Amino acid sequence: MLVLRNMQTREKSGLFQEDNKIFSDRFRQFFIGTIIAAIGGILNLILFGDQLFDSHNLLYFRLDFIAFIIGIVITAVLYSRLGQGQDNKVMTSFLWAWAIIMAFTTWFEGGLHSTLLLSFPILFIFAALFARKLAFLSICSFLSVVIIFMGVNHIYGWFPPPDGMLIEGVPRLISALVLSTLAGYICWIFGGLLRNSFDELKLENKRVLESQDTIRKLANCDALTGSLNRMGSESAYQDLLKGVDFKNESFVIYFIDLDNFKSINDLFDHHAGDQLLITISKRLAELVFNKGFVCRFGGDEFVLALPVQHGFDIEGFAVDIMKSLRKPHFTLVTEAKITASIGIMVANDGLLSFSDLCKKADMAMYQAKQAGKNNYHLYSDKLHREYMRNLTIVSSLESALSNNLLDVYFQPKINLQTNEIDSAEALIRWNRGNDNGIGPGEFIPIIESTELIHSIGSWVLSEACRACKAWRESGKVIKVAVNVSALQLTRSGFYQIVVDALEENDLPPGLLEIELTEYSLITEEPLVKKQLAALKKLGVVLAIDDFGTGYSNIAYLTQLKIDVLKLDRGLITQIDQLKDRRVVVNAVVKMAKELDMKVVAEGIETDAEREVIASLDCDYGQGYLWSTAVPSLEFIDLISKKADPTIALAKPVPA
Ligand code: C2E
Ligand code: MG
Ligand code: MG
């Protein structure tokens, strides 16, 4: 562009640019050269031109001598005008002045025989190079006419030059030498100018190539990490594909999504997040070496693509990636640890585009996230179908939430000593517009890898608090327990959402219980721990849900001062018949008592189960024996009835 613009400017003004200092300087040199040459001519006449003082000559005082002096004066005057933005006019005047002087002096000194004729080509070249079109044409025409005139004049002898004016001998030699030197000098000066212009042009060209290279890099590379971006990857993939022999090789795409990267940004700052992304990109580049390429696909998503020989340990490589990313990262602020979920797509032909391969690997990654993160998953057609189904579920749920098609039901928790309702667990229900009858046990894990878990989670929380307020207003102070996904705790605003829900409904924090999955405890995420500690400090009751199904970190139970353990239904069902379960529950209850925790047994369906649970000193029971989850208004009716251990409060209908 720059070159083009400059070329256009040159085209308009010609090589001769009025405001160009370099040209003005060169013209000055040339003017000085001309003056020196003219002085040389004069000295030549004085020193060697004997005829000058020949008394027989009518033109005693030689006119060519005078002409040169006039030329010198004019040149000196014009010299002083150079560099004032009028160089064009100055140059035209100079050329005309010397064209006339040289026409006269050449005729005067013998016409076509004169060595001064050598000045004509100099003027021609000069006018061609630096004069505007009109000046060039007129000067050339004039000089051509002069040459023709001198030729014809010579033949016919119309206006013969004065006798004896033709310089011979040494002065002729000097004159030829001076003019040739002047011509050489001019060529040297303007040759330098042209060389400079070429150098400038070359430099500009280099700059343009460099900027084209930068633009290409910017378009193909990620500005932060320097890895390829999506656009760059598509062509890198096509390049690599050319060398892949699908008879013996496959092309593997590892779609890497960092787990809970947002919390790093939330907890530290974006600069630390950026640092982390840079080191991650470097580690991935080291892994792929020069066999494939690394692409930063978006925010915290990377793609590692490489062709591999059949038999290559594809899953082992995914493990290597995970290991490499798990190593501590030293950001500016602190040491950060991060895990990643990886989706793997193996292409056995080159039919799909890079973005299609990535879509499939992304689906597999989604599956890895759902399986609890810090995991990898291989793409398969079955996975594709599941993925599509999940997508439909997520979008249907999204519209269900915005169209008020979701409900929150409440299931009572019974105090096993008093048989009274102690609290209620809020459970989401999707009864309307849910053609497939999908329950929360299925859809909650699906939305846990999407934004929806945050909006639905907040909505359930505020509905639960609203219901608790309504029960309170009807005269029953009953605690409400809300299930909170670990994902919700990875958002820095969660604590405030809880505070707002409590304040809006004028509830003391002790009336709210938060049911956490064991994952919330085992996660290394500092933000989760920080928010749990803050909630605990606020006075909110913390419970561990489904205890006994995962790998609870007992240390965290004490660190966070968990208030309630909810034994999973798996431990309770048929406890009256299975001794092993009784032993486990007995041990857990004892441990909980030691740690000052209350214990809730989930999923009590029979009176026999209730009896055993009660005999094991468990504090609370929850299950279909008393009631399924019911709407808030119905729950008020339940509260009014005394929980009878033998009579179910509501007809047990599976949720
Ligand atoms: P959970 O928190 O362990 O809830 C208890 C589940 O057991 C509920 O299923 C409840 O209806 C069921 N249940 C209670 N008593 C019995 C019984 O005696 N027998 C049997 N067979 N089942 C019983 P639900 O409502 O389908 O919820 C399933 C899971 O979905 C919940 O397990 C919880 O993890 C999740 N969930 C439900 N609502 C929410 C919510 O609002 N937010 C989050 N994050 N998760 C929720
Ligand atoms: Mg629960
Ligand atoms: Mg549970």
What is the Cβ-side half-sphere exposure of residue 317, based on CA atoms within 13 angstroms?
A: 25
Please spell the DSSP secondary structure of 117-186, one letter per residue.
GGHHHHHHHHHHHHS-HHHHHHHHHHHHHHHHHHHHHHHH-SSPPPTT-S--HHHHHHHHHHHHHHHHHH
- Ligand 1 pocket check for 568: Cβ under 6 Å: no
Mean pLDDT for 570-579 is: 94
- Ligand 1 pocket check for 623: Cβ under 6 Å: yes
Torsion angle in degrees (nearest 10) through CA of 217, 363, 429, 407: 20
- Ligand 1 pocket check for 87: Cβ under 6 Å: no
Round to whole Å and give the CA distance between 509 and 411: 20
Kindly report which listed range (168-182, 480-494, 564-578) carries the lowest average pLDDT score. 168-182
Closest CA to 312 of 331, 295, 330, 292: 292
Sequence spans of domains, the chain: 2-201, 230-379, 405-639
Task: Tell me if 531 sits within 8 A of 490, measured CB to CB.
Answer: no
CA diameter of the chain: 158
- Ligand 1 pocket check for 655: Cβ under 6 Å: yes
What is the Cβ-side half-sphere exposure of residue 252, based on CA atoms within 13 angstroms?
A: 24
Distance 546 CA to ligand 3 centre (A): 4
Nearest CA to ligand 1 atom 42: 483
Distance 441 CA to ligand 1 centre (A): 6
Mean pLDDT for 234-239 is: 92
Kindly report which listed range (37-46, 299-308, 435-444, 558-567) carries the lowest average pLDDT score. 37-46
Please tell me the class of the 405-639 domain.
Answer: alpha beta
Q: What residue spans of 350-439 are helical by DSSP H?
A: 354-370, 381-402
Kind plus residue range of the DSSP H or E element containing 103: helix 87-108
How large is the angle between the packed helices 169-220 and 119-130, nearest 10 degrees?
A: 20
Distance 145 CA to ligand 3 centre (A): 112
What pairs with residue 330 in β-bridges? 335
pLDDT class of 654 with cuts at 50, 70, 90: very low
Mean pLDDT for 281-308 is: 94
What pLDDT shows up at residue 555? 72
Distance 425 CA to ligand 2 centre (A): 7
Which of 444, 450, 498 to mutate to test ligand 1, by most ligand atoms within 8 A of the CB atom?
444
Task: Tell me if 308 sits within 8 A of 252, measured CB to CB.
Answer: yes
Mean pLDDT for 192-205 is: 83
What pairs with residue 228 in β-bridges? 221, 295
Residue 564: helix, strand or coil by DSSP?
strand
- Ligand 1 pocket check for 603: Cβ under 6 Å: yes
Instruction: Please say if the pLDDT value at position 8 is more than 50.
Output: no
Query: What residues are neighbours of ligand 2 (ion), with CB under 5 Å?
Result: 483, 515, 545
What pairs with residue 425 in β-bridges? 411, 481
Atom of ligand 1 nearest to the CA of 655: 11
CA 256 to chain centre: 17
Closest CA to 264 of 342, 366, 337, 330: 337
Mean pLDDT for 37-53 is: 75
Closest ligand (CA of 440)? 1
Torsion angle in degrees (nearest 10) through CA of 13, 16, 18, 20: 110
Round to whole Å and give the CA distance between 299 and 256: 11
Distance 484 CA to ligand 3 centre (A): 11
Residue 516: helix, strand or coil by DSSP?
strand
Nearest CA to ligand 1 atom 15: 623
- How far is the CA of 34 from the CAs of 42, 133, 303, 326, in angstroms? 12, 23, 71, 80
What pLDDT shows up at residue 49? 63
Most confident of 14-23, 108-117, 283-292: 283-292
Round to whole Å and give the CA distance between 444 and 449: 9
- Decide if 230-379 and 405-639 have a common fold: no
Place of tokens 């989706």: 343
Instruction: Write the DSSP symbol of residue 512.
Output: E
pLDDT class of 20 with cuts at 50, 70, 90: low
| pLDDT higher at 104 or 61 | 104
CATH superfamily entry for domain 230-379: Reverse transcriptase/Diguanylate cyclase domain (3.30.70.270)
Burial pattern 540-560, b for ≥16 Cβ within 10 A else e, equals bbbbbbbbbebebeeebbeeb
What pLDDT shows up at residue 51? 55
pLDDT class of 650 with cuts at 50, 70, 90: very low
Distance 484 CA to ligand 2 centre (A): 8
Round to whole Å and give the CA distance between 12 and 606: 99
Average pLDDT, the chain: 86
